[in-house]
């Protein structure tokens, strides 16, 4: 099927994009970055923050590029003086009721609001007025919610509804008292539909929602991100381990993950701390005289090989069977099957995911 392409001009460059694309999408295809807070390519467009406004020739208004479709011959300027001034004013309005505690905010280094304020030279707000003083909700064992830092971009609401399907978050009230919160405005821990997946945290552009495990542990620039595969099931979700000084301190979504993008379940995002549990076995144990004793890996492998050989020699290959796990990688499961068939000489191999 042929895709109809539309030609337009962005910042003096001729750009082609599929018909039906928005200005923002066309700009991204051309490698042109447009600031945005409420827009997320995995979520439905909202056009709430207005930070992505651009100048379109022949249009006296500055439309939001995330919800404005392209048309043939359209001429767009994404960084004109009028656009820069509008964005500066929008940022001043956003921080008029936003705590300027960036020095102690755990999201600094990964906060889009702070990044854009830096880009447009916004240090404080010219708009004085009443400020919110919401209590910080840390009832959830995994998430800290500070609605004083919420900019009403709606990303958490859409992620909960469109990605997770939990529909746990929505808007409450109007005007100055409007907030993105749970049904009945109860604490996270008391909200019936929350599955603790943390998808809301992954899409939040400010410090309104943060991972409790990372609180006070490190700035984002102190963290080394190490890509890995989740071991909890056979889906094969990818995420980044947040590592500081050689120790894992949390899990961060990776939008480039081929299986899940930024989506994770509660176990994948928050169930990593078992690796430092004091009860976790870190060395093989061999039972000697009725008691388990610590052994080396070589000693354990030698014992396993000896016992397997004894079973095969005494009872035959068909006495052996292998059960593999969905928590293993495809490569590991392949080796289990190959070992069972080639070494033990039987096809008695099964997998827990088959049932």
Q: Evaluate if residue 77 carries a pLDDT over 80.
A: yes
The tokens for 292 are 């388990």
**pLDDT tens digits, residue range 210-262?**
999 999 999 889 999 999 988 888 788 999 999 999 999 999 999 999 999 99
Residue 53 binned pLDDT confidence (cut-offs 50, 70, 90): very high
pLDDT in tens, 278-289: 999 999 999 999
How many angstroms separate the Cα of 269 from the Cα of each of 92, 198, 214? 34, 7, 12
Instruction: Assess whether pLDDT exceeds 90 at residue 67.
Output: yes
The angle, 0 to 180 degrees and rounded to 10, between the axes of the packed helices 112-119 and 81-95 is: 130
What is the mean pLDDT of the segment spanning 44-50?
Answer: 95
The reported pLDDT for the residue numbered 318 is 96
pLDDT value, residue 204: 96
Specify the pairing of strand 55-56 against strand 169-172: unpaired
Strand partners, 13: 10
Instruction: State the pLDDT at residue 107.
Output: 93
Residue 130 pLDDT level (bands cut at 50, 70, 90): confident
By the 8 A CB rule, do 129 and 95 touch? no
Domain at 5-79, CATH from 1.10.3720.10, 3.10.20.740, 3.30.110.30, 3.40.50.300: 3.10.20.740
Tens digit of each residue's pLDDT (9 = 90 or more) over 8-40: 999 999 999 999 999 999 999 999 999 999 999
Q: Given a cut of 80, is residue 2 above it in pLDDT? A: no
pLDDT of residue 214: 93
Distance (Å, rounded) from C-alpha 144 to C-alpha 217? 14
**So what's the pLDDT on residue 355?**
55
Q: What is the pLDDT of residues 174-202, one digit of tens each?
A: 999 999 999 899 998 999 899 999 999 99
Mean of the pLDDT values across residues 293-319? 96
Contacts of 293 (CB under 8 A, 6+ apart): 285, 286, 287
The ranges assigned to domains in the chain are 5-79, 101-111+125-276, 316-354
> How large is the average pLDDT for residues 151-161?
96
Burial class (CB in 10 A: 0-12, 13-18, 19+), 259: exposed
Arithmetic mean of pLDDT over the chain: 94
Q: Could you tell me which of 192, 253, 233, 239 has the C-alpha nearest to residue 42? A: 253
The SS3 call for residue 28 is helix
pTM of the model: 0.86
Task: Assess if CATH 1.10.1740.10 describes domain 101-111+125-276.
Answer: no
| Residue 128: per-residue pLDDT | 83
* Cα distance between residue 91 and residue 205, in whole Å: 14
pLDDT in tens, 85-124: 999 999 999 999 999 999 999 999 999 999 999 999 999 9
pLDDT above 90: percentage of residues in the chain: 88
Q: Are 286 and 292 a contacting pair, CB within 8 Å?
A: yes
pLDDT tier at 206, thresholds 50, 70, 90: very high
Residue 175 to residues 164, 172, 192, Cα–Cα distance (Å): 28, 10, 27
Least confident of 112-121, 128-137, 144-153, 205-214: 128-137
Q: Is 37 exposed, middle or buried (0-12, 13-18, 19+ CB in 10 A)?
A: buried
Q: Of 125, 152, 128, nearest to 48 (Cα)?
A: 152
Token couple for 286: 């061999």
Confidence of residue 1 (pLDDT cuts 50, 70, 90): low
Q: Which residues contact residue 206 at a Cβ distance below 8 angstroms, ignoring those fewer than 6 apart?
A: 98, 107, 111, 112, 113, 149, 150, 151
């Amino acid at each position: 099927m042929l895709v109809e392409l539309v030609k337009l001009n962005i910042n003096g460059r001729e750009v082609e994009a599929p018909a039906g694309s928005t200005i923002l999408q066309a700009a991204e295809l051309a490698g042109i970055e447009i600031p945005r807070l409420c827009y997320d390519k995995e979520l439905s467009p909202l056009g709430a923050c207005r930070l992505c406004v651009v100048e379109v020739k022949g249009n006296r208004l500055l439309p939001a590029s995330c919800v404005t479709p392209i048309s043939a011959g359209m001429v767009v300027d994404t960084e004109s003086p009028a656009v820069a001034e509008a964005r500066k004013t929008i940022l001043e309005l956003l921080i008029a009721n936003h705590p300027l505690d960036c020095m102690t905010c755990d999201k600094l280094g990964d906060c889009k609001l702070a990044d854009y304020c830096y880009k447009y030279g916004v240090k404080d707000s010219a708009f004085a007025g009443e400020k919110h003083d919401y209590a910080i909700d840390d009832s959830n064992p995994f998430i800290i919610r500070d609605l004083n830092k919420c900019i009403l971009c709606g990303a958490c609401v859409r992620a909960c509804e469109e990605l997770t399907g939990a529909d746990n978050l929505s808007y409450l009230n109007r005007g100055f008292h409007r907030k993105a919160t749970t049904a009945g405005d109860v604490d996270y821990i008391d909200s019936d539909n929350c599955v603790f997946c943390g998808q809301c945290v992954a899409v939040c552009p400010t410090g309104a929602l943060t991972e409790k495990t990372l609180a006070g542990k490190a700035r984002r620039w102190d963290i080394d991100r190490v890509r890995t595969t989740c071991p909890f099931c056979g889906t094969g979700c990818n995420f980044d381990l947040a590592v500081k000084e050689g120790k894992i301190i949390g899990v961060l979504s990776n939008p480039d993950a081929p299986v899940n993008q930024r989506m994770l379940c509660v176990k994948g995002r928050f169930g990593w701390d078992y690796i430092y549990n004091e009860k976790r076995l870190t060395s093989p144990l061999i039972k000697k005289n009725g008691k388990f004793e610590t052994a080396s890996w070589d000693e354990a492998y030698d014992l396993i090989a000896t016992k397997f050989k004894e079973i095969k020699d005494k009872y035959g290959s068909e006495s052996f069977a292998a059960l593999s796990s969905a928590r293993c990688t495809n490569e590991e499961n392949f080796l289990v099957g190959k070992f069972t068939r080639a070494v033990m000489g039987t096809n008695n191999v099964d997998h827990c995911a088959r049932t």
